[in-house]
Amino acid sequence: MRILITGGAGFIGSHLTDRMMAEGHRVVVMDNLVTGNYQNVAHHKDNPRFEFIHHNVSNHIHIVGELDWVIHFASPASPVDYLLLPIETLKVNSLGTHNTLGLALSKGARYFLASTSEVYGDPEIHPQPETYWGNVNPIGPRGVYDEAKRFAEAITMAYHHKHALDTRIIRIFNCYGPRLRLDDGRVVSNFIGQALANAPLTVYGEGQQTRSFQYVTDLVEGIVRLMDVDHHLPVNLGNPQEKTVLELATIIKDLVGASSEIIKKPLPVDDPRRRLPDTTKAKALINWAPSKNLIEGLQETIEWYRQAQAREAVTAKSK
Ligand code: UDP
């Protein structure tokens, strides 16, 4: 197949690109590299099945040739990033989703939308099933991401109903693994970076808020399985193992073997208090459940950061 992956040079997009390349498909990665990194896909550059197009999908998209799938992952996804890029975030999930849907329709391709657990906002029910409509503050700082993704889901469903476009929607819960940018501000990358530097680990608020962390290859497996199933309503993909942020800080500090202290910083506005996916649907539909244990996944991620930092040190020395 020939597959377009928008945001394919980003953290999750690049792992999906690897998987699609490994399966023998032709992959077109489209990315404007605002939060993505070409180095995440550079290892494919000499493969004739791989193409990279530097483009912002909020603008009209022109692709020569056939496409079997349009997979829309392009968007800033870390709270720090989307607070710095609020208009870009709103545009890529509204205009960008519209453009990619139109492209899929014109090519007769199938369409896959990366949505988010953020559509549930600060949830009032726990865990969150797909039937929950969410508790989102539209005008709060996170609204630029949450509301844009809610719009993206709405327009994807509209294309499905109005144009019979074959669509998929996933709601991705917190995801971590190699290639998560060290400076992207998310909790796993922050804590690992801080622990590796023996600097204080910054827990926001009292650290009693919860998240559930899935390893990136588990998520990619869920995506691949869902592509094969005829189901158009949103599906949660996340790890049903809940941890407080304070627990995560202790785990990462211990795994790194750091002597860092754990310090408290103010809780960001509208920070969800609890988040946990109900994955009953993914289990029933695609027989999917995350298989990577948190400790093992964090160890692999820490090792990746160590190697990345060693590579950077060598490059800096040789300059
Ligand atoms: N967090 C934290 N310290 C950090 C970064 C994040 O305590 O250095 C907290 C943040 O307030 C939130 C949780 O960790 O409660 C997860 O934050 P992240 O930005 O990774 O993603 P979110 O789930 O909020 O989108």
256-282 average pLDDT score:
96
244 close to ligand 1 (CB < 6 Angstrom): no
- On average, the pLDDT of the chain sits at 97
Which stretches of the chain are DSSP H helices?
11-22, 79-84, 86-107, 143-163, 187-196, 216-227, 245-256, 280-286, 294-318
316 in a structural domain: no
Look at residue 318 in the predicted model and tell me its pLDDT: 75
176-203 average pLDDT score:
96
Chain centroid to Cα 18, Å, comes to: 15
286-296 average pLDDT score:
97
**145 is known as an active-site residue:** yes
Pocket test for ligand 1, best of 245, 262, 267, 273 (most atoms within 8 A of CB): 245
Q: Are 111 and 68 in contact (CB under 8 A)?
A: no
Other Cβ atoms closer than 10 A to 54? 11
pLDDT band at 316 (very low <50, low <70, confident <90, very high): confident
21 in a structural domain: yes
309 in a structural domain: no
259 in a structural domain: no
202 in a structural domain: no
pLDDT band at 112 (very low <50, low <70, confident <90, very high): very high
First-to-last CA distance in the chain?
Answer: 42
156 in a structural domain: yes
204 close to ligand 1 (CB < 6 Angstrom): yes
Q: Is the pLDDT of residue 282 over 90?
A: yes
Encoded tokens for 254: 């211990």
Condensed to tens digits (0 to 9), the pLDDT of residues 170-184 reads 999 999 999 999 999
Q: Are 216 and 177 in contact (CB under 8 A)?
A: yes
What 266-271 contacts at long range (C-beta under 8 Å, 24+ apart), as own/partner pairs, is: 266/204, 266/205, 267/204, 267/205, 267/206, 267/209, 268/79, 268/141, 268/204, 269/140, 269/141, 269/142, 270/121, 270/122, 270/137, 270/140, 270/141, 270/142, 271/122, 271/204, 271/205, 271/209
- Residues 6 or more apart whose CB falls under 8 angstroms from that of 86 comprise 141, 144
235 in a structural domain: yes
Chain centroid to Cα 78, Å, comes to: 9
Catalytic residue among 145, 159, 176, 215: 145
Nearest residue CA, atom 3 of ligand 1? Answer: 203
203 close to ligand 1 (CB < 6 Angstrom): yes
What is the Cα–Cα distance from 249 to 226, expressed in whole angstroms? 33
β-pairing, 242-244 vs 210-212, is: antiparallel
Condensed to tens digits (0 to 9), the pLDDT of residues 54-85 reads 999 999 999 999 999 999 999 999 999 999 99
Q: pTM (2 decimals)?
A: 0.97
123 close to ligand 1 (CB < 6 Angstrom): no
247 close to ligand 1 (CB < 6 Angstrom): no
Bridge partners for 215 per DSSP: 176
> H-helix or E-strand containing 262?
strand 262-265
HSE-up of 238 (CA within 13 Å, CB side)? 29
194 in a structural domain: no
Condensed to tens digits (0 to 9), the pLDDT of residues 19-67 reads 999 999 999 999 999 999 999 999 999 999 999 999 999 999 999 999 9
- Find the CATH number of the domain harbouring 105: 3.40.50.720
Q: Are 263 and 202 in contact (CB under 8 A)?
A: yes
Q: Is the pLDDT of residue 319 over 80?
A: no
pLDDT band at 317 (very low <50, low <70, confident <90, very high): confident
Condensed to tens digits (0 to 9), the pLDDT of residues 114-173 reads 999 999 999 999 999 999 999 999 999 999 999 999 999 999 999 999 999 999 999 999
Look at residue 314 in the predicted model and tell me its pLDDT: 79
Look at residue 311 in the predicted model and tell me its pLDDT: 84
Look at residue 298 in the predicted model and tell me its pLDDT: 98
Nearest residue CA, atom 21 of ligand 1? Answer: 186
238-260 average pLDDT score:
97
Look at residue 45 in the predicted model and tell me its pLDDT: 98
| Domain hosting residue 54, numbered range | 2-179+214-240+276-292
DSSP 3-state of 174: coil
* Total domain count, the chain: 1
